Chains A and B, each alone.
Chain A
Amino acid sequence: MSRSNAVFRLPAPLLAALALLPLWARAGSWPEAPARFELENGLAVICFADGNSSNSVVQILVNGGQRLDAPGQPGLACLALNLSLQVPEPQDVRRLMEMGAVHALAVFPDYALITIQCQSVFLEETLKLLTRQMAAPLLTGLRIDAAKARLKNLLKQERERPLEAMRLAQRQAFFAGSAAAGSVFGNDASLAAFGKKEISALQRSLFAAKNIVLLVASDMNAAALREMLAGSFGRFPAGPMQVAPPAAPAPGPFPTGRVTLQTSQVLVTAAFLLPAASRESMIPAALLEALLGKGVASRLWALRSRHDLAYAFDAEYTALKQGSLLSIALKTSPARLEEARAFLDALFADLRENGVSATEFAAAQAVAGTEFLKNGESKNQISIFAAHLEGLGLGAGFMDEFISRLQCLTLAEFNLYLKRVLQSQNRFDAAAGPGNE
């Protein structure tokens, strides 16, 4: 949709608000369209050109993620992916270390991301060393045990970090009965049961050309990159895309959750189940996130500026295929836990019943626009953001539409959205901190 169309679609009372929009809304288009191509085995590649640095970032988007875990087998996808990154040959490990290349794995409910970052001059060698293990994993009992030990340590960290414990509690409430309900790291019992056979089978299906999309940000030109990527990823078999079984979110209302931790402050969270990720649902959700908790003078800002209830607070929108989440988190003194909950109750009731004004709506649009643009500041950020969009099935091209869709959303549409999504039966409250509630 062109920008001029966007202006003329707005109702007259909003033209004044449009004048308040920051200048990014009237700036030239960004980002530049990425190059897109397929390798011979069918593996899709999306390349962002960026000459700001002589580094390169490659995101290997692996479709499936946690939701591929079969019932009773939580943690298998994470274990299989973790093992695919363990380079077996000592000389290869030394070489990766010497090049200063880094790689990381993050497993989400709908997909997993393997991030590889290095100086561009080392990209070809780094990719060759790392993809060798993905294409033909070497699995031994010792290596599997070591990977299980790593996941068990991550499980411990997840339990002792209040915010992570709360995120887990939210997924358990909203997605009860589905693979996305537990920890991506599984549990002690499930990890103990996994053997070479099921790990190997899952690895083969994950590292197939049609199950992977590469998102690349680099100073190298697309032709050179294409040749380089073919040399490493061309060896992947042309297997199909993995599709996780459909699963509906659990119906509300949800009981209040509690994690007891001996901390001096209590973490208070309230989460809402939002519509599943789509090009239409992401825009009002991103705006709601900005309205509540991004930037100064957001709705949650009153926690610090008027009520002294919290120094730190945040609103975070997580888009998921099964149903998205909006999570509000704040830290306050244990004695003021109920006051904090009452503040949140009043805030959501006000938004449901009264909506927001044109001025507040325009300011939230401005903040959401800046938040979106920040996703393109670095090569890692833009490639991760594009990978998330691909992994959700929305396509990286949605980045081109984000700003114009944000401008097209009307105040009336947004207020209707608030009324619909901020219902108490969609809400799950939890707290982590001292006490025996």
Chain B
Amino acid sequence: MTARLRGQGRIITLDNGLRAAFQEKAGPPLAAVALAVGIGARDGDDAAGGPVHLLEHLLLFGSSRQRPAAEKTAAIRRLGAQINAHTDHDLMTFEILLPVGELESGLRILKETVFESCFSEDEMRQEKRIIRAETNQIHDDPGRLGPTVALQELFSGHPYSRPLSGAPDAVDAVGPDALRALLRGHFIAGNCALAVAGPVDSRQAEAQVRAVFADLPAGDPPRRTLPALPPLRQQGELKRRLDVQQSHLFFAFRAPAYNHPDRRVLDVLNHILGRGINPMLAGIFRHGQCVVSGLESNYFVLARGGALVMHFTTAPANVHFLKNQLEKRLGQLAAFRFSRADFPGVQQFAAGDFLESARNQLRWSGEEFKESGLDMAVAIARYLLLHEEAEAGSPAAKEIDAISANDLRRCAGLYLSGEKFVWLTISAGEAGQ
């Protein structure tokens, strides 16, 4: 079966159920390959989220059935290839970037890495120590610690609350049987999607993918059920201490999931509030009231939920003022004039059009995405596993064009008003306090 991606892309499904996409683009002679597997921190039995991230490390850097880890990594290096992997709440994604003429060798190494692993107990012990170091690094960086803690609290009592890197003690407790069970249950062709992007001949790339991956065992994807999100626990300020000069305030809200019809509206709201050269919250708090020195807003889109996390950098004395002001301003968004068309007559000449600004930021980033083969390959592989409709939906650009100021007011009222947030402050002090 062959389907079309937008533009020059094609999607095929191998007999064993593996979906594969090919996207040709001009550029330097590098091929990008991404392989997404339907397994994430939400899977597994451990509430502290240990095994899946550990498994990712062992697949990427452990031995395979063909050879020890050192020989495998040396072979990758000889190709001039760069390999990496990521675990998020829903998926594990492997990626490789290499000279376009080495594509078939890269595909074979990817298959060996993901489907033919044979890691030792020593390698398990080593990767557990490395994950502990990785976790320590997250805990030293307010920009990474903040969203991690905020998401844990936002999804408290749900598998999405599991930390992506796994709690170090939980990772230490994982045994080989738990990992083998994850491999048996999830690493089958029907639960994976592969994408190739770059200046490749897509017909030739398809033949190479078929030659390399056709013998993967077939099988139905596992049934991955998730409980409904429990009501948000009411809570006061969460506090963490780090050796920082300024305070970091995080506001986090639950937001729509990957396939939710409101997802694009939240994308636009996210850009209006905290992205681009002069987002709305910067206009209020940085240029107007001069209380923040840094502002960032991020929308984490998950298969069955989402989170909008705003990060403000401010002087310690401003934290409570900022929190109160923010709560008030966000509560007013349900009646806010986002578009110039919301203003009567002559007032339109002096009004800022936040809706048009966000649309243009998203159009620009949608175009920029087409420039990177690796970004394209990763996004396509993830799309193949996360998108739930049989046919590709309408292009994101068209969905964004259709969003109105009324949509923004409705979603602001629905998702960003009232006591629906998690509030975290990271301020100066001894770490761990």
Instruction: Report A's interface with B, CB cutoff 8 A.
Output: 20, 22-28, 30-31, 50-55, 91, 93-94, 96-103, 117-119, 122, 149, 153, 156-157, 159-160, 261-265, 295-298, 301, 304-305, 308, 310-312, 331-333, 359, 362-363, 365-367, 369-370, 373-374, 376-380
Contacts and interface: CB of A to CB of B under 8 A. Distances in A.
Contact of A370 (B97, B133, B137, B430): B97
Contact of B246 (A91, A118, A156, A367): A156
A313 to B, nearest CB: 11
Contacts of A119: 360, 363-364, 367
Contacts of B367: 53-55, 119
B388 interface: no
B26 A52 contact: yes
B137 to A, nearest CB: 6
A363 B129 contact: no
Contact of B360 (A99, A153, A265): A99
Given A296-B82, A379-B371, 11 more contacts: A22-B98, A55-B371, A99-B357, A100-B364, A264-B139, A295-B76, A305-B126, A312-B133, A332-B133, A362-B78, A370-B99
Given A53-B367, A98-B353, A377 B101 contact: no
Contacts of B69: 305
B371 A53 contact: yes
Interface stretch (B27-35, B329-337, B379-387): B27-35
A297 B102 contact: no
Contacts of B81: 295, 370
B74 A363 contact: yes
B371 A97 contact: no
The list of the 3 closest CB pairs from A to B, nearest first, reads A23-B101, A100-B360, A366-B80
B130 to A, nearest CB: 5
Most interface-central of A20, A31, A119, A365 (chain B CB within 10 A): A119
Interface residues of B, number: 69
A311 B74 contact: no
A311 B243 contact: no
B73 A297 contact: yes
A146 to B, nearest CB: 9
Most chain B beta-carbon neighbours within 10 Å: one of A117, A363, A377 = A377
Contacts of B294: 153, 157
Tell me the interface secondary structure of chain B in the complex.
helix
A261 B86 CA distance: 29
B140 A264 contact: yes
Interface of B: 25-30, 61, 69-70, 73-74, 76-83, 97-102, 126, 129-131, 133-134, 136-137, 139-140, 242-246, 276-278, 290, 293-294, 350, 352-353, 356-364, 367-374, 430-432
Nearest to A362: B78
A376 B76 contact: no
A296 B83 contact: yes
Nearest to A26: B101
A380 B368 CA distance: 9
A100 B276 contact: yes
Nearest to A155: B245
A122 B73 CA distance: 46
Contacts of A308: 126, 129-130
Given A27-B100, A370-B98, A370-B99, A311 B29 contact: no
Contacts of A50: 26-27, 371
Contacts of A54: 367
Contacts of A117: 364, 368
B61 to A, nearest CB: 7
B243 A28 contact: no
A99 B361 CA distance: 8
A165 B28 CA distance: 35
Contacts of A97: 276-278, 352, 357
Given A22-B99, A52-B371, A295-B76, A377 B28 contact: yes
Contacts of B29: 23-24, 27-28, 30, 373
A50 B368 CA distance: 12
Nearest to B279: A97
Contacts of B76: 295-297
Contacts of B370: 52-53
Given A52-B26, A94-B352, A261-B243, A311 B133 contact: yes
A367 B82 CA distance: 8
Contacts of A301: 73
26 contacts: A27-B100, A28-B29, A52-B27, A53-B367, A53-B368, A55-B364, A91-B350, A96-B277, A97-B278, A97-B357, A98-B352, A100-B363, A101-B277, A119-B360, A263-B242, A295-B76, A298-B77, A304-B61, A305-B126, A363-B78, A365-B80, A366-B79, A374-B97, A377-B30, A378-B368, A379-B368
Nearest to A296: B73
Contacts of A20: 78
A365 B353 CA distance: 51
Contacts of A122: 360
B206 to A, nearest CB: 19
Contacts of A24: 28-30, 80, 99-101
Contacts of A264: 136, 139-140, 431-432
Given A50-B371, A53-B367, A122-B360, A311 B27 contact: no
A22 B101 contact: yes
A377 B136 contact: no
A55 B69 CA distance: 42
Contacts of B356: 98
Q: Most chain-A CB neighbours within 10 Å: which of B70, B74, B78, B356?
A: B78
B147 to A, nearest CB: 18
